[in-house]
Structure 1
Amino acid sequence: MMKTLALGVSLLALATSTASAGGIDRSGQWITPIFDKGNVVQFSIGSVDPDVTGSLGTTDSATRYNPVSFSIKQAITDKVDVAVIVDQPFGANIEYTAGAFAATPIGPYPGGFADVTSKAMTFVGRYKYNDNFSVHAGARAQSLTGTIASADGILNASSDYAWGALVGAAYERPDIAMRVALTYNSAIKNKLSGMHNFATPVSGSHKSPESLNLEFQTGIATDTLLFGSVRHAKWGGRSLETTPVGGGTTINWVNFRDDSTSYTLGVGRKINDKLSLAVTLGYEGAGTRPGNTPLAPTNGYKSIGLGASYNVTDSLKVSGGLQYVKLGDQSVGPVSFTDNEAIGFGIKLAYSF
């Protein structure tokens, strides 16, 4: 059962890294490595290819991105574990090449364009009171960088690392491979500096949302695991604004109107001592329609994923997964985005030492 347990955690992390293919929330800020047994180092890479088109000749409005993550977890004592997790929690890849949002305001970019990336380093420790109860807490450093083009012009901006916190608790029943873990992630405010239209120095800020992550798993039959997650992120009221250095008109580049809640549910099955398989379902409800920015051409999603895990040796495990995402419809001004989708896949290497 413990090998199936590890499969469930691995594939849950893979699923959440690709399920939000249509939004800015990407990695899910999950801290699953802290629950691994012993000492483990992991590396994963994926690719998400959205196919998003709209009415009035609006095509190719979302581009491929490739999430990467790394973690190392160390058991200090029988009761204390620590982990470092590196990921890309938030991002946006939007580019309108034709249609209503393709007019060029200035420079080389289309009128609707976003290439925004983030980097985060999470430091987390866990203390086990006994076999059933544990608490975990830590700190997260996060930076943002990117380019946005809209009717207001072009913004090139970046930030230094800013800090946030996380805290949570877990209940486990090892005899049935059950675990329920709840984690609170604080908001992180990044101060931005950059250029507006390649000429005007600007400063601003963006505050990523506070969130609550619930993850669970339990054995439901011999060599069979049920697992899932719920993530609620408080996006409502968040914005990205800049003001010229020395004073001037403040520009609001992006508004977020709604909080988001995403769900994942999966079943993993151990086939033999080396191979395990799993299937996952994902869902995020649609928020406000119509949207208020062409940089958000989708709204919610439904997904299904298939995954496999293979124990190459007692120390080395390879996991992989493929996910199909049905992206929710959205409308922005005169343009309607319907019947869009994305394909995501990923691979993870885990080495125990």
Structure 2
Amino acid sequence: MKLKHLSTAMILATLPATGVFAAALDRSGQSMSAFLQPGNYFEAGISALDPDVSGKDTSGNATGDMANDYYFPSAALKLQLTDKFSFGLLYDQPFGSDSEYSGKNNFVANPNDRLLPSPLSPTLGQAGLGNTITGGTSVEVDTQNLALVFGYQPTVNWNIYGGGVYQTIKGNVHLRGSAYSLYNGYDADIKETGGAGWLAGVAYQIPEIALKASLTYRSEIDHDVNIKENIPIVNLVAANPALLFGALGITDPATQAAIGKQLASLQSDGKTTITTPQSVNLDFQTGIMANTVAFANVRWVNWKDFAVQPYKFGIVSKAAGQLLPQLGKPNGFNLVDYSDDQWSVTAGVGRKLTEKWAGNVSVGWDSGAGNPVTTLGPTEGYWNVGLGVQYSPTPQTFIAGGVKYFWLGDADAVTGAHSAAGTFDDNNAIAYGLKLGYKF
């Protein structure tokens, strides 16, 4: 079988648009394929997503398409320093989110929105803030990863590798509309900050039959950030606590004093730790007939342990949980969290068509990270189908392109307090990718 050189062509053709719409904030899929190519190798690529995600709030109002288009680049350099030692630099943007609500629904600010849960305070609304809350709920999160990887190849079949990872994160969140109650008007600005982690893995190959398998672990990465937060209702009652005491019927002096102390602590920003999740990738390919390979990828991401609770948001959530027992959150709640880990599987077949052309087809499934889900990303997993093509004008160079169509899973959306906020169904997305590669 003519598979020794085919294996590289086929697996590369699958990479564009691999993980651009996965559970939670997962974006790139964090592939190690470039580092496992033979000899010296360089690649650069870009992936783009065109999603259509819409639903209805609990009042039956249509949200319109709330998911923005986005794109992200990737690049890799792998050097085979000796027969037994290799080095690589891998760049990608592993996690991210970009969405915004518009129109007339519970995720867009309205002058008549209540800032405390009815019926406790049916009259304390935006008017008390001078109608300063405008716009729709939105979120934008961007991360960047740079991995320095060292590999040791004791034989032609085995590759043991590991290295350090530097990651940056930045973003902003704006909560608007009656769905968020006292958090209507909440803003969080996360300035870009960095953190360090590590990866380790092992690969096995038999080039003669195009067999290659690899298992890669990536650690979680902590980011200690100062999030600039703004909570309009807190600013209002901090200036005049009697508004809150009157709205909630709080007359006990000791309780008033305790609440006043909490309000005072909200006048300054505090540290927040954001921990991006650990993950495991299993990749496999093998020749199945002349000029044909089968390939598969399985990915696990530990989203179940992921949670973001900004400093001021957390203080207010704990106070709200104690003062409003109907929320069912006496210990407070998070801005974002997930209930399940993510599992995703992609499998397909690639075939060499001519000396310069190759193509592939694939199917994919993603479990999602639990349902109900946050209103900032209201989908629950997916199924997809993909097509890829690769053109190699010379034995050392190639250009690969791919497209995938996603059927996004239906989801029930909830706020940070896990209060029902809406339903989202019959949604979809299209992903595109382009990659250039050079062997030297």
Residues 214, 284 of structure 2: 8 Å contact kept: yes
Contact 1:196 1:202 in 2 (8 A): no
Report if aligned partners of 1:135, 1:169 keep a CA contact under 8 Å in 2: yes
Maintained 8 Å contact 2:52/2:429: yes
Kept in 2: contact 1:159–1:191 (CA 8 A): no
The 3 A distance-change label for structure 1 pair 277 and 12 is: closer
AA matched with 1:81: S
1:266 to 348, 351, 360: 348
The alignment's TM-score, normalised by the length of structure 1, stands at 0.93
Higher strand share: 1
User: Are residue 294 (structure 1) and residue 375 (structure 2) matched?
Assistant: yes
For 2:205, which of 158, 163, 172 is the aligned residue?
Answer: 172
The structure with more radius of gyration: 2
**Gaps in structure 2 of 5+ consecutive residues:** 111-125, 127-131, 232-266, 318-332, 414-419
TM-score norm. by structure 2 comes to 0.75
Distance 1:260 1:216 in 2: 19
- The equivalent of 2:323 in structure 1 is none
Q: Does the alignment pair 1:204 with 2:272?
A: yes
* In structure 2, C-alpha distance between the alignment counterparts of 1:329 and 1:78, rounded to whole Å: 50
- Bigger helix fraction: 2
Q: 1:87 aligns with which of 85, 92, 100?
A: 92
> Contact conserved, 1:76 with 1:82, CA < 8 A, in 2?
yes
Distance, in Å, in 2 between the alignment partners of 1:108 and 1:69 is: 36
- The residue identity in structure 2 corresponding to 1:27 is S
After superposition, the CA RMSD in angstroms is 2.1
**1:174 and 1:320, CA in 2 relative to 1: closer, same or farther beyond 3 A?**
same
- Following the alignment from structure 1 to structure 2, what is the Cα–Cα distance between the partners of residues 223 and 206? 46
How far apart are the structure 2 equivalents of 1:178 and 1:290?
40
Name 1:161's counterpart in structure 2.
194
Matches within 5 A, 1:173-188: 173-188=206-221
Please give the alpha-carbon distance, in whole angstroms, between the structure 1 residues aligned to 2:192 and 2:222.
10
When residues 48 and 300 of structure 1 are mapped into structure 2, their CA distance, relative to the original with a 3 A threshold, is same
SS of residue in 2 equivalent to 1:33? helix
Cα separation, partners in 2 of 1:143 and 1:117, compared to 1, 3 Å: same
Q: Structure 1: how far apart are the matches of 2:174 and 2:377?
A: 13
- The 8 Å contact of residues 19 and 282 in structure 1, kept in 2 or not, is answered as no
Residue 206 of structure 1 and its aligned partner are, at CA, apart by 1.0
Which residues in structure 2 correspond to 1:1-353 (within 5 Å)?
1-20=3-22, 23-55=24-56, 56-98=61-103, 99-103=105-109, 109-110=135-136, 112-150=137-175, 151=180, 152=183, 153-197=186-230, 201-244=269-312, 249=316, 252-291=334-373, 293-332=374-413, 333-353=420-440
AA partner of residue 409 (structure 2): G
Counterpart residue identity of residue 313, structure 1: T
Q: What is the CA–CA distance in structure 2 between the aligned matches of 1:140 and 1:326, rounded to whole Å?
A: 33
Offset at 1:205?
A: 1.6
Question: Identity percentage over the alignment?
Answer: 32
Once residues 109 and 143 of structure 1 are traced to their aligned partners in structure 2, the CA distance between those partners, rounded to angstroms, is 28
CA separation of 1:4 and 1:53: change in aligned 2, threshold 3 A? same
Write out the 4+ residue segments of structure 1 that deviate beyond 3 Å after TM superposition: 104-109, 198-202, 247-251
